[in-house]
Amino acid sequence: MKILAIEHEQPGVTGEQFQPYLKAEGQRAWELYQAGVFREMYFRQDRAEAVLMLECDSVDDAQATLESLPLVQAGLITFELIPLKPYPGFARLFSDPQPWRGS
């Protein structure tokens, strides 16, 4: 299952509070990327918050995985999780309910 995870910083957190955890955070993110759990990683253009694409068995599994990140464990960030499913729109547009019959 693909899950979009959007990071949210806790209100009032300063950049200095992040500093002691950044190397461990990067190491854990690298481990999860190598394990195929983190499929894509981005920072938002408008602020320094991560947007991740995860591959997990469930939303609960994704939540547990994100709780292994040092910044989450320190209470500095949380994640909004959005489960995704394949887009079915093209089938509605292009599938032919009655196969073409020649003359």
Q: Where are the domains of the chain?
A: 2-86
pTM, rounded to two decimals = 0.85
Q: Does domain 2-86 have CATH number 1.10.3470.10?
A: no
CA neighbor of 80 nearest in space, from 28, 2, 8: 8
Distances (CA, A) of 57 to 25, 30, 51: 23, 20, 19
Q: What pLDDT is stored for residue 101 in this prediction?
A: 54
Q: Concatenate the DSSP letters of all residues of 57-103 into one string.
A: SSHHHHHHHHTTSHHHHTTSEEEEEEE-----HHHHHH--SS-----
Cα separation, 22 vs 67, whole angstroms? 15
**Tens digits of per-residue pLDDT, 42-86?**
999 999 899 999 999 999 999 999 999 999 999 999 999 999 998
User: In this model, does residue 22 exceed pLDDT 60?
Assistant: yes
